[in-house]
Amino acid sequence: MLIGIIIKGSFMASWCVLGHSKVRNLRYVSFNSINFYLRFVALFFLTCALFTGPNAIASTHSTTASSSVNSSLSRQQLDQNWTNSDYRDYGLTQAPQPSWVKPNTIDQPQTRPDHQITNGVYYLLVDNQYKVTDNQTRVFNHFATQATNSKGLEATSQIDIEYDPFYEKLELHQIRIHRGNQVIDKTRTSQFTLTKADTDSDLIYDGTMRALWVVDDVRRDDIVEYSYSLIGQNPVYQNQFSRTRTLQWNVPVHKQSIRVQWHKSEPLSYRLHNSADEFIVSQHSDYIDYQLTVSQQSLAPDLNDSPQWYKPFAWVEFAQTSNWEQIGKWAAALFEQAANAKPTEPLQTSIASTAEKLTAPYSKTQDKVMALIDFVQQDIRYLGIEMGVNSHLPASPADTLTRRYGDCKDKSLLLVELLKQINVKASPVLVNTTIGPKLDTYLPAANLFDHAIVNIQVNGVDYWVDATRQNQGKDLTSLYLPDYGHVLVADKHTQALTKLPAAPERQRIVFKEVYDLSKGLGKTGELTVETKYFGAQAERIRNQLQRKGLNKLASQYQDYYQGLVGELEESQPLSFVDDDKTNQITATEHYRISQPWVEDEAAEEPGEFYFYAYENQITSYLTPPKGEPRLMTQAYPLSIKGELIVNLDDRNWSFEDETIDEQNEFFDFNYQVSFQDSNNQLRIEYQYKHNTDVINPEKFDQWVSALKRVDKYASYGLVSYERSSSDTAAAQTAATDTGSSEQSLPWWVEDLQMWILAGMLALLLFVYALVSLIIDEEVEHESVFYPVSISKFVLLTILTLGIYPYYWHYKNWQYIKKQDSPTIMPFFRAFFGTLWFYPLFAQINKRTQESKSHKFIPLWLGAILALLLITVTVADRYFDESTIVLWVTIAVTLPLVIHINGINGANSSALKANSRWRPRNYIMVLMLPLFAMLLAMDIKLLPSDKIVSGEDLWGHDIEFIRDNGLLAEDQKPIYFYSNDFLSNRNDGNGITETGVFSYWVEEDELRSEQAKFAEITDVEVYYPESNDENTEVTVYYGDKFLLLYLSSIDKLDKKFVELLEQRWQQANAQELSDQLDSDSQFKVNVITQQGSE
């Protein structure tokens, strides 16, 4: 009976204390409204109900059991007999390992680097071997991975291989599990499916297939080994071989090997970067063998927000082509073939007539060229059909014109052919959108290009135009092009790469924000914002208008300012004036601010109000990055000029003129404050300009120091005093990192008043409990050790969340001290009860043997129980299983409780006295867990009820987030909030230097999502009406979204959201080319599979 009650009680306790974090849908419930006291009361009454109404649960079970399921239903399965199925039409077969392959053994290190492993996957072997002949390329891939935890089981048990059956065949050789000394073959028993592979864009269609094997019965610490071959290469490369391969990763790889068996007569070039390793080159009768083996390579540096072309880690490249001239001729031949190809579609209009019609209204060549560019950009939609050779061979220009769609190379070639009709020289140009600035350091290779643009020559001036961009206006001289660095003109006369000229100043913003506070304190204010965008910035705004629409954009703008100045509403609709001839667009916003002046509740005297004015364009560039020195980029060229104007009421205002002028090699920043007494107008003027696009690691600290010198000038704070004896006002400049109007006090100051009140109440209750305890102590009861009923011990242990056993240990050590050990200190032995468990066990055993009154458990079994308790307690530090610790504590201590009760006898007066429930017991139940919880929350051992700085998180929580792949090794969250009740490991929402993340426990599994700032496409925010609800932030990235749940206490949610929007804007500005480019149509023929590139 008692055991049943305990089991039911533990179930209800676990549900009540831990249950709410199990389901993702419950995360909208704010932790602020789930007070611990209320949870405890619910637990207490539920536990009591178990004593009186056990049949209630049983009746619920019987109701559930009465439902039935249609027995004819059957679950769908993947292909369980794939080797006997016919996948040959898709180029897929099962075959033994080829004889030319050099076998690689799977070794394990003496010590596994668990602290470096992320997502629970340890890569033991990454082996890539190439056999290259005059007619064929074969690639053998061999991998071995180990699942170090439950998260790793997800990755290691699924083998995912992509290939293109248009030109590749896939041979799977083997799938095996190594479990201790066992080797289990899973090649033929793994479930299989073949599907169309996802592409990076919905606007690109290629022939890539995804072969997926689901391996059954994979267990923790199993090693999953598999190997396969890809046979063939895209014929568009004309059998020219080239590869790149990373040798240093951001996860540990125990052993990696790369080998090339070269059967061609032409020499093979290779180059090792950032590595002292060397290839072993051996000459054979009909081939040359190149081999490199690397073991236990150090981790690659964490690049965070560094550009993709920055590769300070070890890598190797191979190339058959010896110079860029060969690549130029190869590219020219592809475009020439397409230009001369006969159209496959019936012509609706010719290229010549189209060009004539589009250019007829214009007389100047520049205007004619712009008309043709605008037509191809705006009227020929982007769509890539990339199967096989289509990856690099363009469509016929006539077909592109007829279909009205094409990818970058199709649109570029169409534009070239249209320009020919008006006698303007133009050529297609191949570029690499990521490594272009360093392309000249690579070996020449055709597969290094992923995009195409056009070079146009007008009156001796070169213009570089991207035919896939949209909304660039109609001024040829102001068309924006990202800095692609080195490019290759697709012309048979090309002999080398061409360096794109430095971009003129085509990213410019001019803004003016006017705050009208002339009505004075307690009245509404007006905000008018006028922002002019030029060049690339105008293009960005036009794209946003097309993508989001005017209403959604207006809502986002309003939410942004509302987060800065409080409640406001539109007084006039958001409007845009677009002058596409000068490539300039002007946005105008009008808002009415409900309460611009906010009373300072922390002021010493009432009647002090403050107001902060924020500029909204420069702030995102002034935020100093954190982390180790690294290479970073910034938008370049970029120029921003603007002013904040604050019109004040007719009181006597006092301001000091101020000028800050910061000029350095990274940026120029000018800040001026002036005040006109005649009309009470405060004016803050800004000028900001970038002087470089790259911040090298050795200059990183200087750059950060320069940013810190000026970042506090992003806002301006005013203070107004409402006094009956004075009619004056003062001003002060606000110096905040994030531009927030909230000046937060330290957490211990904010909570001081609460702690004083709680402390007074606790003191009264403690005095009462102490007096009650002293009175009870004066009543002596003869006993051996400290007897107490089993039910009281178990219930008090559960209800005090494990605190009561400390008291039980104290009373027993107190008895031992009185008997014969006056020098021991019972309090400390009880406080470290886990370590002193075995000595207490031995003392009880000793005294039992001396009295010869009862048999007792052998010492060796006591040692096992003590070891179990210590092990579980230590494991809790890493796995956060406090519930298990609670039950193990009860289980290992109960034998001692039962034995002591047996020694004293059932009729012992001490047993009866100690088993009674006294007022102090209820106080202990009510107060100790509550105050322990509050204290743990305030020192951040348990989740706080408000958003906290990442610096306030304990190291074990940060390591947990890192271990799950949400933080880099040297990163900490900037802000963090957990909506869980007992552990930051069950739920978390955070923002870092590079993005945002969220994780939660669902169905006993940890789920997580993260988005880099550069990936974010939209952010939606729902602010609750009270602190009892969470703020909900929806972050859209790609075709996905993640939800962030934030506490609204102290308005720290607005700080979080403001920082998110600032970093997002900064990422948009710095990676403007990536945001606006929807073109990734050149498929680089590089094998990528769990560690090979």
* Dihedral (CA of 537, 540, 546, 549) sign: negative
d(CA 512, CA 528) in angstroms, rounded, equals: 8
Q: Which of 436, 468, 499 is the last residue of a domain?
A: 499
CATH code (residue 487): 3.10.620.30
Query: What are residue 237's phi and psi, to 5 degrees?
Result: -85, -5
d(CA 1058, CA 207) in angstroms, rounded, equals: 43
Instruction: Examine the domain organization and report whether 167 and 272 are in the same domain.
Output: yes
Helix-, strand-, coil-residue percentages of the chain, each rounded to 5: 35, 25, 35
Region 933-958 average pLDDT: 74
Name the band, by pLDDT with cuts 50, 70 and 90, for residue 946. Answer: confident
pLDDT tens string 583-595: 899 999 999 999 9
Q: Is the pLDDT of residue 418 over 80?
A: yes
Q: Which of 438, 466, 499 is the last residue of a domain?
A: 499
Q: Is the pLDDT of residue 154 over 60?
A: yes
As to burial, measured by CB atoms within 10 angstroms (0-12 exposed, 13-18 middle, 19+ buried), residue 1083 is: buried
Q: Are 506 and 1072 in contact (CB under 8 A)?
A: no
pLDDT tens string 46-65: 333 333 333 433 333 334 44
Helix (H) or strand (E) holding 366: helix 365-379
Q: In whole angstroms, how far apart are CA 986 and each of 23, 168, 959?
A: 11, 45, 14
Q: Is the pLDDT of residue 739 over 80?
A: no
Instruction: Examine the domain organization and report whether 628 and 651 are in the same domain.
Output: yes
Core vs surface per residue 1041-1070: b (16+ CB within 10 A) or e = bbebbbbbbbbbbbbbbbbbbbbbbbbbbb
pLDDT tens string 766-815: 555 555 554 455 445 677 888 888 888 888 777 777 778 888 888 888 88
Q: Which of 298, 320, 342 is the last residue of a domain?
A: 320
Residue % of the chain over a pLDDT of 70? 81
Is 596 inside any structural domain? yes
> Sheet of 461-465: strands edge to edge?
461-465, 451-458, 425-431, 486-489, 498-499
Q: Which among 942, 938, 1024 has a CA at the least distance from the CA of 981?
A: 942
Instruction: Examine the domain organization and report whether 374 and 267 are in the same domain.
Output: no
pLDDT tens string 859-888: 788 788 888 888 877 776 665 566 777 788
Instruction: Examine the domain organization and report whether 219 and 265 are in the same domain.
Output: yes
Q: What pLDDT, on a 0 to 100 scale, did the predictor assign at position 842?
A: 84
Mean pLDDT of the chain: 81
Region 819-825 average pLDDT: 80
pLDDT tens string 407-417: 999 999 999 99
Number of domains in the chain: 6
Q: What pLDDT, on a 0 to 100 scale, did the predictor assign at position 855?
A: 65
Q: List the domain range (segments joined by +) for residue 189.
A: 82-320
**Which region among 220-224, 971-975, 1070-1074 has the lowest average model confidence (pLDDT)?**
1070-1074
Q: Is the pLDDT of residue 840 over 80?
A: yes
Instruction: Examine the domain organization and report whether 913 and 860 are in the same domain.
Output: yes
Instruction: Examine the domain organization and report whether 971 and 1039 are in the same domain.
Output: yes
Residue 1010 neighbours by CB distance under 10 Å:
20
Cβ within 8 Å of residue 276, ≥6 positions away: none
CATH code (residue 277): 2.60.40.3140
Is 371 inside any structural domain? yes
Q: What pLDDT, on a 0 to 100 scale, did the predictor assign at position 303?
A: 79
731 bridge partner residues? 718
Q: Is the pLDDT of residue 82 over 50?
A: yes
Q: Is the pLDDT of residue 747 over 80?
A: no
Region 270-282 average pLDDT: 95
Is 1012 inside any structural domain? yes
Q: Is the pLDDT of residue 744 over 90?
A: no
**Which region among 7-11, 244-248, 316-320 has the lowest average model confidence (pLDDT)?**
7-11
Q: What pLDDT, on a 0 to 100 scale, did the predictor assign at position 910?
A: 78
Helix (H) or strand (E) holding 137: strand 137-147
121 bridge partner residues? 147
- Tokens representing 479 are 């068309």
Is 1085 inside any structural domain? no
Instruction: Examine the domain organization and report whether 907 and 974 are in the same domain.
Output: no
Q: Is the pLDDT of residue 625 over 90?
A: no
Q: What pLDDT, on a 0 to 100 scale, did the predictor assign at position 295?
A: 93
pLDDT tens string 1041-1067: 889 999 888 778 888 888 888 788 767
Is 75 inside any structural domain? no
- Tokens representing 578 are 């677009």
Cβ within 8 Å of residue 790, ≥6 positions away: 2, 894, 897, 898, 901
Q: Is the pLDDT of residue 146 over 70?
A: yes
pLDDT tens string 512-551: 999 999 998 889 999 999 999 998 889 989 999 988 899 9
Cβ within 8 Å of residue 626, ≥6 positions away: 972, 974, 993
**Which region among 59-73, 90-104, 380-394, 1032-1046 has the lowest average model confidence (pLDDT)?**
59-73
Cβ within 8 Å of residue 959, ≥6 positions away: none
Instruction: Examine the domain organization and report whether 516 and 556 are in the same domain.
Output: yes
Q: Are 40 and 929 in contact (CB under 8 A)?
A: yes
Q: Is the pLDDT of residue 581 over 80?
A: yes
- Tokens representing 730 are 């003062």
Q: What pLDDT, on a 0 to 100 scale, did the predictor assign at position 1053?
A: 86
Q: Are 293 and 259 in contact (CB under 8 A)?
A: no
Name the band, by pLDDT with cuts 50, 70 and 90, for residue 15. Answer: very low
Instruction: Examine the domain organization and report whether 881 and 972 are in the same domain.
Output: no
Name the band, by pLDDT with cuts 50, 70 and 90, for residue 730. Answer: very low
d(CA 397, CA 693) in angstroms, rounded, equals: 37
pLDDT tens string 989-1026: 999 988 999 998 887 788 889 998 888 888 888 887 66
Q: What pLDDT, on a 0 to 100 scale, did the predictor assign at position 1024?
A: 78
Instruction: Examine the domain organization and report whether 819 and 896 are in the same domain.
Output: yes
Q: Is the pLDDT of residue 950 over 90?
A: no
Cite the beta strand spans of 158-264 per DSSP E. 158-163, 169-179, 182-185, 191-196, 204-205, 209-214, 223-231, 242-246, 253-262
Instruction: Examine the domain organization and report whether 114 and 42 are in the same domain.
Output: no
> Higher confidence at residue 193 or residue 724?
193
Q: What is the value of pTM for the model shown?
A: 0.65
Instruction: Examine the domain organization and report whether 283 and 342 are in the same domain.
Output: no
Is 77 inside any structural domain? no
Region 909-914 average pLDDT: 78
**Which region among 297-306, 350-359, 432-441, 842-851 has the lowest average model confidence (pLDDT)?**
842-851
Name the band, by pLDDT with cuts 50, 70 and 90, for residue 242. Answer: very high
Q: What pLDDT, on a 0 to 100 scale, did the predictor assign at position 1027?
A: 62
Q: Which among 954, 996, 945 has a CA at the least distance from the CA of 975?
A: 996
Is 1087 inside any structural domain? no
Q: Is the pLDDT of residue 818 over 50?
A: yes
Q: What pLDDT, on a 0 to 100 scale, did the predictor assign at position 1090?
A: 32
Is 749 inside any structural domain? no
